[in-house]
Amino acid sequence: MSKSFEIILEKANSWIESNQKVVLATVIQTWGSSPCQVGSRMIVNEKGGFLGSVSGGCVEANVINECMELIKSKNSFKKIEFTILDENAWSVGLACGGEMAVFIEQINL
């Protein structure tokens, strides 16, 4: 229903045209309750700029870091899984008690 992915892909294209490296993150699986549905997307550039969302804010920072690491590495893709938040730790997790998998991939020239 939302038009956001269209805006995201156009932005990814414009970042690439201005010679930036871009990683596309996509929610590929969710278990239990999770704020973003399968297919939700976010793009991240080499400077850490981002657009879109893969959760309600719970794991964005972690995904952004992973995307920036991916740009530095030789790999072109990676699958990241997030599990239930340990409430006693200041770690990344999903406060809603869900689990999710995010696929991150470089846009290759």
Partner 1 sequence: MKIEILKEIIKKKSSKEQFAVLTNLSNGNSEIFEFGKPLSKDFENYKNEIENYYNLKKNGTINGTQIFILNYIKPIEVIIVGAVHITQYLIDLIKNFNFVITIIDPREYFTTEKRFQNIKIINEWPNKALEKIQTNSNFALITLTHDPKIDDPALNHALKNKFFYIGALGSKKTHENRCKRLKEAGFNDKEINSIHGPIGIKLGGKSAPEIALSIVVQLVSETNKISLKSRN
Binding site for partner 1 (CB under 8 A): 1-4, 6, 9-10, 12-13, 16, 24, 26, 28-29, 37-39, 76-77, 79, 103, 105-109
The least CB distance from residue 90 to partner 1, in Å, is 30
Strand partners, 44: 23, 50
The least CB distance from residue 15 to partner 1, in Å, is 11
Q: How far apart are CA 59 and CA 102, in angstroms?
A: 10
Residue placing its CB nearer to partner 1 in the complex, 61 or 76 = 76
Q: How far apart are CA 14 and CA 8, in angstroms?
A: 10
Q: How far apart are CA 86 and CA 108, in angstroms?
A: 36
The least CB distance from residue 76 to partner 1, in Å, is 5
Residue placing its CB nearer to partner 1 in the complex, 31 or 85 = 31
Q: How far apart are CA 82 and CA 27, in angstroms?
A: 11
Residue placing its CB nearer to partner 1 in the complex, 8 or 58 = 8
The least CB distance from residue 44 to partner 1, in Å, is 14
Q: Whose structure tokens read 């309750």?
A: 33
